[in-house]
Structure 1
């Protein structure tokens, strides 16, 4: 029979091992570099001064797949949308600028696309999932009545080898969202970009095989529009 003292010792050792693993995982994820986004933040401020954003907008937030959605206002002309994507961002960046780029606009709804660059930088699906939970926690704390829409991480030809990890991250997030349907929505912006062979359809991607063409955004417009508030 194992004595209580041995059990306590094993518990301590296990805790230290888990903490060490978390530190290693954190070390493998590039740190937030605020200076990296100085120009984009200035551009947002200039846009706001020249053209005041809609009151309580539907805020599109995340990485370059949002930033490059240049037809967003035209695609949702009957919705008060605002694009605040910044290219190359990861979940840590989205969390870091949450107050400045999300809360400040007092949105009626937040549409989030993030996780693509996290996995591209070496993050695991579980780390992406935990980052999503951290983002959702901020939403509950600071914008408790504002619904959150998560856009599934897309498949890309240039990152096709990582797609199994993308699928795993998407599924983790989707399962959580489906357990909290009152405040969260999941939009499958991934599988509509795949062809009958199960691979990304070339017409949806520009020459870098990562970002999307207008045809790709037309697909997103169709599936995302169903989840937007009036």
Structure 2
């Protein structure tokens, strides 16, 4: 048995941990570890190192890791109260990114018929102007930005550009533990603001994508993304000038498994192959709207 006192020490050796040892480690953490920052950091460092080498195989054969994943989620639940601490560094990074966009806007003039992409890292990492050269594109994506932050910075990120089309992508709320209902409500709040200011603007709600590390982020993350997508689709069907775009389904292979080759090494962000799936879908939607 791995003693509780060795949680931190074991984290340093986690690259060599085998399946049986990992299950034993997580069990011991649940039964014996005190809830403190040191133990939390040790458990999640060990887990990150373990899952790093298993993430592809896990997505192909999740049944092999059922016990380990269940214990991992139980540990996440055990230490969750230590997670809800304001992240000043993260907040400062997003604030600085918004200021950079503000400075860029102050030095340039933008088309009033622009197509605006706004959201989290899937937007910020998307080479939208290169992908859609036939359109006037403005990209205002910021990695890790949630919907509440998009709404908070609405005047800078959205309102000043008066876009003819706005594409919104954000899965951060779900990844931060919000329910599908909470997430959808923030999308509705944002669309209300856009409609009030720009009633003729077409709003594209881009579906949340499944990623290799969904289950490592937290229990039911992928499930909640898919539930949110279904609710956003229903919402868009009941609204004028709002269209839901399914980018998630094409990311699955014929067996319904996630295409692992479309992500960069972190298992979360898309590579060129991933965006190559998205680009023609969005282009067809934009052509249909603009023509």
Using the size of structure 2 for normalisation, the TM-score is 0.64
Q: 3-state DSSP class of the match of 1:149? A: strand
Q: 3-state DSSP class of the match of 2:167? A: strand
Q: Provide the rounded CA distance (Å) in 1 between the counterparts of 2:238 and 2:85.
A: 28
Contact 1:158/1:210 (CA < 8 Å) preserved in 2? yes
Aligned to 1:154: 209
Q: Tell me by how many angstroms 1:133 deviates.
A: 1.0
Q: Tell me by how many angstroms 1:29 deviates.
A: 11
User: Which gives a bigger RCO, structure 1 or 2 (Cα 8 Å, sep 6+)?
Assistant: 1
* Farther off after superposition, 59-68 or 45-54: 45-54
Aligned to 1:13: none
Residue 84 of structure 1 pairs with residue 143 of structure 2: no
Q: Provide the rounded CA distance (Å) in 2 between the counterparts of 1:129 and 1:187.
A: 15
Q: Tell me by how many angstroms 1:226 deviates.
A: 1.5
Residue 122 of structure 1 pairs with residue 181 of structure 2: no
Where does structure 2 lack aligned partners over 5 or more consecutive residues?
1-83
Q: Provide the rounded CA distance (Å) in 2 between the counterparts of 1:111 and 1:29.
A: 31
Q: Tell me by how many angstroms 1:38 deviates.
A: 2.6
Contact 2:102/2:156 (CA < 8 Å) preserved in 1? no
Contact 2:98/2:156 (CA < 8 Å) preserved in 1? no
Say which of 46, 64, 69 aligns to 2:121.
64
Q: RMSD in angstroms over aligned alpha carbons?
A: 2.2
Contact 1:54/1:82 (CA < 8 Å) preserved in 2? no
Where does structure 1 lack aligned partners over 5 or more consecutive residues?
1-27
Q: Tell me by how many angstroms 1:201 deviates.
A: 0.5
Q: Tell me by how many angstroms 1:50 deviates.
A: 5.2
Q: Provide the rounded CA distance (Å) in 2 between the counterparts of 1:173 and 1:91.
A: 14
Moved over 6 A (4+): 28-33
Larger Rg: 2
Say which of 42, 45, 69 aligns to 2:102.
45
Greater fraction of residues in helix: 2
Contact 1:54/1:81 (CA < 8 Å) preserved in 2? no
